[in-house]
Amino acid sequence: MIKAIFFDMGGVLLPLFPERCMEAYRELAGFKDIDKYLDPCHQHGIFLDIEAGRMELDIFFAECLGHCAPGTTLETVYRCQAAFFGTPKPEDVALVKELAQQYDIYLLSNNNAFSMQLHIPNFEKAGLPLQSSFKQLFFSHELKLLKPSPEIYLYALEHSGHSAAESLFIDDSQRNVDGAIAVGMHAVLYRPGEETLREVLTNTLNELNR
Query: Residue 39: its pLDDT value, please?
Result: 81
Query: What is the full DSSP assignment across 88-106?
Result: --HHHHHHHHHHTTTSEEE
Which pTM does this prediction carry?
0.96
Domains assigned to the chain? 4-16+86-208 (3.40.50.1000), 18-82 (1.10.150.240)
How many CB atoms are located within 10 Å of the residue 92 CB? 20
Query: Residue 168: its pLDDT value, please?
Result: 98
Which regions in the chain score pLDDT beneath 70? none
Query: Residue 42: its pLDDT value, please?
Result: 81
Query: What is the full DSSP assignment across 176-199?
Result: HHHHHHHTT-EEEE--BTTB-HHH
Query: Residue 65: its pLDDT value, please?
Result: 97
- 3-class DSSP assignment, residue 14: strand
Query: Residue 107: its pLDDT value, please?
Result: 98
Question: Are the CB atoms for 169 and 177 separated by under 8 Å?
Answer: yes
Query: Residue 135: its pLDDT value, please?
Result: 98
Query: What is the full DSSP assignment across 15-41?
Result: -B-HHHHHHHHHHHH--TTGGGT--SS
Query: Residue 51: its pLDDT value, please?
Result: 96
